[in-house]
Amino acid sequence: MSERAVDVLRGSLLEALGTFAGRGRVLVALDFDGVLSPIVDVPSAARPLPESAEALAALVATTDVALVSGRDITDLAACASPPPGVVLVGGHGTQSSLDGPDGGRRLSEQEQELLERMGAQLDEIAAAHPGTSVERKPMSAVLHTRAAERVVAVEATRAALAGPAALEGVHALRGKEVVELGAVALGKGAGLQRLREALSASGAPVEAVLFSGDDVTDEDAFAVLDPDAGDVGVKVGPGDTRAGHRVSDPAEVALLLAHLVQLRAR
């Protein structure tokens, strides 16, 4: 392990990784934006750091690996270019590549009508707030405010939460510079639990899960982890968190993954 890795992974995190890596079947689940990829202004331009991509390609040979993202699963696949064997969970837990390349789930007619209605309302908000934009996903619509002036971003966020987010049946998530409105229940925690159960049903049980995320929308994934049973939560960046451990940025995530590759290879 390099001196840089020793500095980053010292203490309780280093100990937790050693215990985790020594178990039998384990799952390493990672958010994409802000974890494998630095945050960028244009979401389609996001790419994993080369060091993380290299580590994932090695880690998947010994370990179950998944990317758990709010992105639509096809968008996640295009940006992450994951190595074969990595499972993709998109749409804040509503889509899984185990159910097919497009994630598997379909909206009912009523849910589709709700999606169109709230998406149209978000379009109106974006049109009235320069610098904001709306992204359409198969099961949700997202208001992006990162490119707007701060006062405009705050006003647009307030309008989204007071308007379309309040429609009956809408499931709202607020993240960093985004408000995402789902026509179905959204949550990375539920998606992570379903993935763990699906993998365990396909062979040996998953003994422990490591999840790493940077956004407030990752907190419900940290909430389903059980540290007493060997699960490990790693928050990336600042902010309050349920995670038991923290690293600073995607570069330090790359160091963590490279260390896990070494440990699991033993």
In order of their start, the domains of the chain are 3-105+186-265 (3.40.50.1000), 109-182 (3.30.70.1020)
To the nearest whole number, what is the mean pLDDT of the chain?
Answer: 93
Q: What is the pLDDT along the chain (266 residues), one digit of tens a residue?
A: 656 666 667 788 999 999 999 999 999 999 999 999 999 988 899 999 999 999 999 999 999 999 999 999 999 999 999 999 999 999 999 899 998 887 887 889 999 999 999 999 999 999 999 999 999 988 899 999 999 999 999 999 999 999 999 999 999 999 889 999 999 888 899 899 999 999 999 889 999 999 999 999 999 999 999 999 999 999 999 999 999 999 999 999 999 999 999 999 98
Per the CB < 8 A criterion, the answer to whether 210 and 231 are in contact is yes
Under a CB-based contact definition with an 8 Å cutoff, are residues 219 and 36 in contact? Answer: no
User: CA 248, CA 183: separation in Å to the nearest integer?
Assistant: 34
The whole-number pLDDT of residue 175 equals 87
- In this structure, are residues 68 and 191 in contact, taking their beta carbons and an 8 Å threshold? yes
* pLDDT 10s digits, 98-129: 988 878 878 899 999 999 999 999 999 999 99
H helix or E strand, kind and range, residue 252: helix 250-265
Please give the pLDDT value at position 9.
75
Structure tokens at 191: 């998606």
Q: How high is the pLDDT of residue 7?
A: 67
SS3 204: coil
**d(Cα 132, Cα 117) in Å, to the nearest integer?**
19
Would you state the structure tokens that stand for residue 94, as one six-digit string? 């509503």
What is the per-residue pLDDT for 4?
65
Number of Cβ within 10 Å of residue 156's Cβ equals 24
The reported pLDDT for the residue numbered 5 is 62
Q: Which of 7, 31, 41, 102 is catalytic?
A: 31
Distance CA 55, CA 20 (A): 17
Structure tokens at 43: 């979401």
Q: Would you call 41 a catalytic residue per the annotation?
A: no
Q: For residue 239, give Cα distances in angstroms to 235, 236, 255.
A: 9, 9, 21
